[in-house]
A and B are shown apart, each in its own frame.
Chain A
Amino acid sequence: MKVLVVDDEAAIRELLELILVTEGHAVALARDGAEALASVDAVAPDIILLDLKMPVMDGREFAERYRAREGKTAPIVVISAVQKLSEYADLGACAVLAKPFELQVLLDAIARCTGQKAEALPAR
């Protein structure tokens, strides 16, 4: 599975890459919403792990633009340390994880969100 990690924190990006690659996924990294938006079509991720507070383009703007563009849309898992995560309920994320989160919670969310998508496809 291909995971796109969008986070301005280098430590988070690198750790998620290490972990997800170990788990057998392919990983692409982006430092902010703009970088992510520029790469989504080439990467064609199955799932996107998205931070909210980022320079240049934040998570909300990225999610809106990502959905507005043409082409396949991957589920989004929000990973953020912002105080009021409830304000992002309208983002349409498959899962919202408050930093810090346990690794198992993240792996479950990834499995659940991509599984949902796989089940949803034949129904169309």
Chain B
Amino acid sequence: VHLATVLRYALTAALLAPVVSATIGVTTLVLTGHADPATLGPVWYTWWLGDAGGALLVAPVLVLWSTETPRLRGGGSTAELAALALTTGLVVWVGFTPSSYLAAGRYPVGFLVLPVLVWPVVRFGPRVAMTTAAALSAAAVLGAVNGVGPWVRVGDPNGTLLFLAAFMGVVAITCLALAASVLEHQQAQEQLRATEERLRHVEEGKVAARDEFLSVAAHELRTPIASLQLATDFLVRQAAQGTLITPDVLQQALTPMASQAKRLNTLVNDLLDTVRIQSNRMDLVVSMQDVGALTERVASEMRATSPRAQVTVRADHTVAPIDPVRYEQVLRNLLDNAIKYGGGKIDVDVSQVDRRIDVSVRDHGEGIAPEHRERIFERFYQAHPNGARTGLGLGLHVSKHIVELHGGEITAEFPPDGGTRIIVRLPT
């Protein structure tokens, strides 16, 4: 409900449209000889008034009661409605009935209707308001028929009609406009509340995601630190006890230290990369590189660190403008996922297709459940069940940005025979 709409309706439908109908109607009457051209003015005016009154008073009441109209929130009670009806009755009696001294004397008490017009608008909404307005107008008309009320001009029926019409028009338009305005205000408030609610939800979601990330990050960072601490504490203890540490034991202690230090560094780099991505500060150092050779190098590196993984590479030795460090980072992420969630056999394929290079990494593991597939490139998103999660949920997110910085794209496929295939397409 808009105030502007109501006013436009009042002006066009209720006041101007009847001009057309009255003019056509009266002209027809005169042309067919049913009306005397001398009385043309009053007849036209009466016709217009009838139509306009109908459109302004009767139509809104019918429409409001027969359709679903917006309710006024926190509206008045039944007792208040009864009080309104009683007061309206009182106003009608005082202003428009022959038994009232003021009405019979045709004193100018038309202003009495103001409170009972405004009251229902702000307390009960458009339905009750328009009904009250219609009742007041009906009372005014009945009063005028009986020759009582403030609008009666003795010996001047046309004048009476004019005042009556003006009264009804003003009552109807005031009531409609006021009701629309009140409802508009209420709707604006409701929208504001809904927006606030939505914002609060978003904010709560952000806080929850941040807390979740912090707890995951803390766990991931502490795990390699735990290994480093155990190994160093062990060596220190041995040394303090004066135990001769054999090269074999030394290697058993130092090997995990090296790998965990490296892992810690990767975690920190991934965290920094997400910050760089967020602030658009990730830069590439691009040079012409043999993508096939880079791929084979990363694959053999992964084979060395994960002896259980069977990584096979089939590569075209195509040269492309890429950042070799970033490319290796992407491939390491993809292979890391494939080893972690795929297990055994992993197929890596580097193919030149037209003017681009397609690098695909396919594992034959459990794959990714359909409900998680859409979100795997999101920051911090981990598609695997809680206990099986490792890492920060950043690998694919960072990889996607690196590939896109190269002008390429990264997509995921889920072959019907299981596993996951991630495809990186790079321009050559």
Residues from chain B with Cβ under 8 Å of A56 in the complex: 387-388
The reply to whether the CB of B6 lies closer than 8 angstroms to some CB of chain A is no
- Select which of B226, B253, B256, B385 is within 8 A of A100 by beta carbon: B226
User: Are A12 and B252 touching (Cβ within 8 A)?
Assistant: no
A95 CA / B311 CA spacing, docked (Å): 42
The answer on a CB contact under 8 Å between B231 and A15 is yes
Query: Chain A: residues with CB nearer than 8 A to chain B?
Result: 8-9, 11-12, 14-16, 18-19, 22, 53-58, 79, 81-84, 98-104
For this complex, 8 residue pairs linking A to B, each with C-beta atoms less than 8 Å apart, are A11-B224, A14-B256, A22-B249, A53-B389, A55-B387, A83-B215, A99-B223, A103-B230
Taking CB atoms, residues of chain A closer than 8 Å to B386 are 53, 58
Chain A residues contacting B260 (CB-CB under 8 Å) are: 11
Contact of B219 among A14, A18, A54, A83 (CB under 8 A): A83
Answer whether residue B234 sits at the interface, using C-beta atoms and an 8 A cutoff: yes
CB of B93 to closest CB in A, whole Å: 74
Would you call A103 and B237 a contact (CB within 8 A)? yes
- Which of A57, A58, A81, A103 sits near B233, CB closer than 8 Å? A103
Q: Given the complex of chains A and B, what is the CA–CA distance between A83 and B253 in angstroms? A: 27
The 3 closest A-B pairs by CB, nearest first: A103-B233, A99-B226, A81-B222
Partner of A101, one of B229, B249, B388, B389: B229
Q: Looking across the interface, which residue of chain B has its beta carbon closest to that of A9?
A: B223
Q: B259 at interface (Cβ–Cβ under 8 A)?
A: yes
The residue from B223, B228, B259, B385 contacting A81, defined by CB atoms under 8 A apart: B223
Give 11 new A-B contacts, CB below 8 A, not counting A11-B260, A15-B252, A56-B387: A9-B227, A12-B223, A12-B226, A14-B252, A22-B249, A55-B385, A55-B387, A82-B215, A100-B228, A100-B229, A102-B229
Quote the shortest CB–CB distance from A112 to chain B (angstroms).
18
Q: Which B residues, 247 to 281, have Cβ-Cβ distances below 8 Å to chain A? A: 249, 252-253, 256, 259-260
**Which residues in window 200-227 of B have CB below 8 A to A?**
214-215, 218-220, 222-227
Q: Are B218 and A83 in contact (CB under 8 A)?
A: yes
Chain A's nearest CB lies how many Å from the CB of B224?
8
> In the complex the two chains form, what is the Cα distance from A11 to B386 in whole Å?
21
B238 at the interface (CB under 8 A from A): yes
A22 to chain B: which residues have CB within 8 Å?
A: 234, 238, 249
Interchain CB contact under 8 A, A84 and B215? yes
- The smallest beta-carbon distance between B209 and chain A, in angstroms, is 15
Contact pick for B234, options A55, A57, A101, A103, CB 8 Å = A103
Q: Which of B215, B227, B390 has a CB less than 8 Å from the CB of A11? A: B227
Contacting pair B233 A82 (CB below 8 A):
no
Contacts of A19 in B (CB 8 A): 230, 234
For residue B218, which residues in chain A have a CB less than 8 angstroms away from its CB?
Answer: 81, 83
How long is the Cα–Cα vector from A8 to B226 in the complex, in angstroms? 13
Chain B residue at minimum C-beta to C-beta distance from A59: B387
A22-B249, A100-B225 known; A15 vs B387 contact (CB < 8 Å):
no
The answer to whether B215 and A16 have CB atoms under 8 Å apart is no
Inter-chain contact B230/A53, CB cutoff 8 Å: no
| Complex interface: chain B residues within 8 A of A102 (CB) | 229, 233
Task: Report the Cα distance A104→B234, complex, angstroms.
Answer: 9
Q: Report Cα–Cα, A55/B420, bound state, in Å.
A: 19
B222:A18 contact, CB within 8 angstroms: no
A-chain residues with CB within 8 Å of residue B228 when the two chains form the complex: 100
- A99 (CB) vs chain B CBs: closest residue: B226
Q: Report the bound CA distance from A15 to B231 in whole Å.
A: 7
CB-based contact A16/B230 at 8 Å: yes
Q: How far is the CB of B297 from chain A (nearest CB, A)?
A: 24
Expressed in whole angstroms, the Cα–Cα distance for A84 and B215 within the complex equals 8
A15 touches B259 (CB 8 A): no
CA distance A101 to B220 in the complex (A): 15
Taking a contact as CB atoms under 8 Å apart, the answer to whether B259 and A11 are in contact is yes
Docked Cα-Cα span, A100 to B220, in Å, equals: 11
Among residues of B, the one whose C-beta sits closest to the C-beta of A102 is B233
Nearest A residue to B260, CB-CB: A11
CB B397 to nearest CB in A, in angstroms, measures 21
- Please, which residue of chain A has its CB at the minimum distance from the CB of B252? A18
Residues of B within 8 A of A84 (CB): 215
Q: How far is the CB of A46 from chain B (nearest CB, A)?
A: 20
- Residue among B214, B224, B227, B230 with most chain A CB within 10 A: B230
